[in-house]
Amino acid sequence: MSEKHGFDAGAGALRASGSGPLHVGVIMDGNGRWAAARGLPRVEGHRRGLEALRRTVRAAGDLGLRYLTVYSFSRENWTRPPKEISELMGLLKYFIRNDLRTLQEAGVRVRVIGERDNLKPDIVALLEEAEARTRGNDKLDLIVAFNYGARQEIVEAARALARDAAAGLLRPQDIDEAAFGRRLQTAATPDPDLIIRTSGEMRLSNFLLWQSAYSELVFLPIYWPDFDRQALQSAIDAFHARERRFGGVGPAFVDQIDPVRVEQVKSAS
């Protein structure tokens, strides 16, 4: 890929080796507080946040990530003042109109998750255009969670299963985690290995609740407009420093397990 887009020749090395996170989710938090700390209007924080998103997409490609999911606008964000919502929608339009060509050239595929029924037609058209124009790309999937809420996504998946069961297409006893996962909007995407949240807040805020069951969580004490490649690398370094056991026992402890004691515990339970 072209150097001007920030992607180097070794972009796929981490991905190919399997040593790094395949999928990173980012809760981009703190634009307004960044602006307030500098005596600037909130919209300036959102503008700088857009610049941080550009840096992050480039860095994700450099570091060999395959999937990057960003929480751009939640269902709860509609409660913000109308002027701020209008400014956010304007920035979304600006990003798609001005950055889509760069994303296309860099091999980035754009996918959007979230509800679209209550969006204005021009916004829906832009989202669909971004997806259509980049559909054939395969270097990095940029998944934009827009008008998204994880609880609503889970409810919709449950409704889909209920409809299939009522229609006789599915037996209730056949519903398992895999069947449920196939009804989620992220069905074509592996669960995130790592979720990063900026601004120092330590919660998921209705972001990928089902998918993050075994994600490593990293909370950074910086506001989103200050996020850059170094911050992304530091979160990935923290990911590497952890031992992911998925509810099991790590290899360092296997030799310490007493099989006789395990059977005693099973018998007593």
Q: Nearest Cα to 227, choosing from 45, 53, 36, 92?
A: 53
What is the SS3 assignment for 108?
A: strand
| Rounded Cα distance, 38 and 223, in Å | 12
Q: In angstroms, rounded to a whole number, what is the distance separating the alpha carbons of residues 24 and 64?
A: 11
Q: Find residue 218's DSSP bridge partners.
A: 196
Contact status, residue 231 vs residue 206, Cβ threshold 8 Å: no
Q: Which two tokens stand for residue 220?
A: 């950074």
Is 147 a residue of the active site?
A: no
Of 8, 31, 62, 77, which one is the catalytic site residue? 77
Catalytic residue among 29, 62, 141, 193: 29
191 flagged as catalytic:
no
**51: CB partners within 8 A, 6+ apart:** 225
Burial degree of 203 (CB within 10 A; 0-12, 13-18, 19+): exposed
CB–CB of 127/146 below 8 Å?
yes
In whole angstroms, give the CA distance from residue 239 to residue 252.
Answer: 18
Please, which residues bridge with residue 216 across strands? 194
Catalytic residue numbers, as ranges: 29, 77
